[in-house]
Amino acid sequence: MRTTSSREVYRNAWIRVREDVLERDDGSEGLYGVVERPDFGLVIPAERNGFWLVEQFRYPLGRRCWEFPQGTWSEGDGGSAEDLARAELAEETGLRAAELRHLGHLDLAPGLSDQEFDVWLATGLDPGPTAREATESDMRQQFVSDSELRQMIRTGRFTDGPSLAAYGLLLLDRV
């Protein structure tokens, strides 16, 4: 498969959408829309047989959602994937991790977007002040036991795809 042309159809500070015309191996032509977003980091803050979660209003869904802390660099900021994980953990929860261990690298939605993310396990947690962005002003955090998190998953109260994939990596890591 090869791209024969590409054009930008939308852009703002957080997202770019492009439309690609492609030629398949059999010679047929196709059209593909691709959402471009920067990669992000997701952190599982774990202690006392449980986890720290954050909850915030997610506009596209029209409801509040529980998830593990996650995010991308703000424009003009940058650093390593581990630096991003530490920054997001501190920004959203105020927690600082003595140890941060990489659990894996995943694709968010490969049929739609080029965005990928790294999953980190944070342990040895110390509290501190949060530094939430204006868009996170309604965010709250809560500690839940592992059994409470499993119940939240079973009852549809914890539905964030990247957080569920990250939890799956954690479960595999514990085997």
- For the chain, what percent of residues have pLDDT higher than 90? 90
Considering the entire predicted model, what is its pTM? 0.93
Q: Residue 133 pLDDT more than 90?
A: no
Question: Which pLDDT band, with edges at 50, 70 and 90, does 167 fall under?
Answer: very high
Residue ranges of domains in the chain? 2-36, 40-174
Determine the Cα–Cα distance for residues 126 and 157; give it in Å rounded to an integer: 27
Q: Are 86 and 77 in contact (CB under 8 A)?
A: no
> 3-state class of 91 per DSSP?
helix
pLDDT at 158: 98
Phi, psi of 86 (to 5 degrees): -65, -40
Handedness of CA 17, 60, 141, 105 (dihedral sign): negative
CATH 3.30.420.40 fits 40-174, yes or no: no
Q: What confidence tens digit (pLDDT) does each residue in 10-47 have?
A: 999 889 999 999 999 999 999 999 999 999 999 999 99
